[in-house]
Structure 1
Amino acid sequence: MKRKNQDSGKLVLFPKEQTRLEKEAFDYFKSHQYKRALPVFEELIDYGIHDVDIMVAKVTCLAELGDLKEAERFLEELIDQHTDDYLTYIHIYATLLFQFHKHKKVKELLETVLVDVTDATYRHQFENLLEINEPLVDEEVSSEINVTKRELNDAINHHNTLAQWHLINHLQQSDITPYLEIFKTLLTSETHPVVQSVIISLMQANRIDEVVAIHKFNQEMMLNPKIYPYFTDHPIYKAVQTMLHDLEENNPSFYRLAMQILERYIYVRYPFIEDEDAGLLKEAIVSIVNQAFHDPKHAVSKEAEDKMIQLMETEQLYFSLLEE
């Protein structure tokens, strides 16, 4: 039977009904009938019964049924609550990650947690698992590199620009050294300019200290990513931003749109922006935004009209990648 909790307004189980459900759930669980056990454990949890054995049993059911993502998500929620069973959930989470060969995540988790663990038993368990896990981290990294290289080469061979973009963006937090030769090839071939810009940004973030060749928009250039300014630090970008600054206070929406156009233009064209006329670029951007705000009276020079066409072509290039 169930009754309503006067404080929370939620239904709660009478002890007899709770005992019955717990027995049913654990009977299924002990006989490895995880598909039947899971909804009963979830029902108990929904009624606010957060016993650690029930929580652990639910995680085990999810893992045994192959729903690793949901098991991870559930454990992360439990860990975030910082209950008295926090270290128990950390231990189960680390063990689960280890069993599913997510050795980098095990290392990151345990190294973070060990800073504050004072309980001798858990500290010993965590240090032991960390030691066992350590040799496997390099294996996982090596495997990931080989898979990513294979997928990236496949995307290049099939001219799949969107896949190239996703795979390279996926490396934002990684050491890109193993991919440098592929990147150098992409920078000198007929690659989508946005993909090339992502590569240059990654090389700058990783402070790659060597001169690389770039072929883009039928132009060629040599640059050292470590010392070449990031696109938002480039003098041309800074100059136009300064010219647009007065708009920010007077018309924030106008300014925001103008800056979006500027950022996309510089990003797509980068690094071939050395010869840009900052004043002309600012005039063209303002003209485009004026059109967007339906101002037909805005006068435009012939040079600005030509630059507006180039800006709109760049916009199309920027968004074409996402439309593939």
Structure 2
Amino acid sequence: MKRDNVILFPGSLERLLDEGLDAVEDGDYERAIKAFEQVYRFDTDHQSYLAPYAVALYETKDFVKAKEIAEKLLQSGTANYIDAMELYLAISIQLQLYDEVEMAIDALFEEDAIPEEMVNKFNYLRQLNQRLSDRYTPDETRFHQETFTLEEFLEQPVEMQQNMLSTLESGDITSAIPVIAQIVEQEELRPLVVTFALVLLYQVEYEQPVTVKKFGREKTVIPSKIALPNQDERTAEVLDLLGVQFEKDPSMLQLAIEAVQKYGILDYPFSWDGYSTEEVAKAYAQYIHSMFSGNQIECNDLCTFIRHIDQETDR
């Protein structure tokens, strides 16, 4: 296959597609976008990657490109039309296309096109869109956010919770800070959601202690005084040791880096508490070797926990 003087060898498209899908599953959206961009050059209409491509663009806040891909998805005749429409609407809200969102949601309700189990979700989208639209004025460069209660937040599915926090991130979140602090302390929420909320508190330099509960452990921190995920000295030290360990095997090193970074996000603000840096690096080396060999190995508690975190699906 050839396009724009670029030759794509047999199997390359499938390999890029698999790489992009794996990267989305791992939460590595930048890598996913690089793979999907290449696929898109040769096949702009293939349904199998349009949705994850749009999600990756959304997560990296490239909302203009995300809208283009979401529109392609809707035009493709996808069987998951309502899911695709939900994604399209979430992107459009980020672009402040409030009138377009309102008309689209109204049309879906008028046509009775929304499954019963998704009615509450689309009602929330409509309400969120209306609140943002009401609070936006032409002489303001930024809009103010209408906050929500903890109960309203907990009622939403994971994807909507992430969208609600993402919407807060783009505006003045002062009025929402008390709710965000409560969200951080909810043990039943998915780890990635808690991480997102804690990062928001870090960004506003929140100086009150909060107690984070993840994977059966708890830790009290002051958000303004902790490093962002994967930007702490401990993570850098672990990666340095793994760089030496896998110096001659870049494939294993890449897997190790991805596993460490995923841990840093999902288990934030925990940082392998109770283990030395050397013990952590050794546990990751064990885990990565077992992945490549396919053999079950004797694994201590840390290695077992690392494997659990790495296999956690948080979407």
More helix by share: 1
Q: Whose radius of gyration is greater, 1 or 2?
A: 1
TM-score (norm 2): 0.50
TM-score (norm 1): 0.49
